[in-house]
Amino acid sequence: MTARDPALTALAQGWSALALLHGRIETHVERALQAGHDLSVREYSLLDVLSRQHDGEGGHLQMKQVADAVVLSQSATTRLVTRLEDRGLLERYLCPTDRRGIYTNVTETGLKLLAQARPTNDDALREALDEAAKNPDLAPLVRAVESLHATAPA
């Protein structure tokens, strides 16, 4: 294989298109969430992930699982949790069965903010995807994202 290998060039172009789509979506959603709710995309994502926890077996996430879900390092996730805790949107407490474990839950205030922000997030995402679909290089990626939604369990 050489640097001019058509398969590698196509792969690089595909990766560039994916990065472009991600960047456009994230920027659009970020602006909407900041303007409407004083939330970043990462903050919204963290609240969303943590709001899905439950008290059943395996229902609470460890910090590494949370970090993976919001695509941040563990240290960045911890800083983000602290910021949201300082705003009264999250709370931490000791695991009742393992005092070494610490859980993080969304407070009532956090749940209210998340409920208010969810339509903003969804609308901004739809707008960004609709705009990207007009670009012939991005349209196949938009269709792929939309097909993931169509096959997801309800």
CA atoms within 13 A on the CB side of 37: 25
In this structure, the chain runs to a length of 154
Backbone angles phi, psi at 106, to 5 degrees: -85, 130
Query: How far are the Cα atoms of 30, 61, 108, 128 from residue 26, in angstroms, in the given order?
Result: 6, 25, 26, 9
* pLDDT band of 154, cuts 50, 70, 90: low
Minimum mean pLDDT range among 3-12, 44-53, 63-72, 140-149: 3-12
CA 74 to chain CA centroid, Å, is 15
Q: Average model confidence (pLDDT) for the chain? A: 90
Predicted TM-score (pTM) of this structure? 0.86
pLDDT for 123: 98
53 to 98, 103, 127: CA distances (angstroms): 18, 10, 29
pLDDT digits (tens, 9 = 90+) for 62-104: 888 899 999 999 999 999 999 999 999 999 888 777 777 788 9
Q: Above 90 in pLDDT, residue 34?
A: yes
pLDDT value of position 4: 73
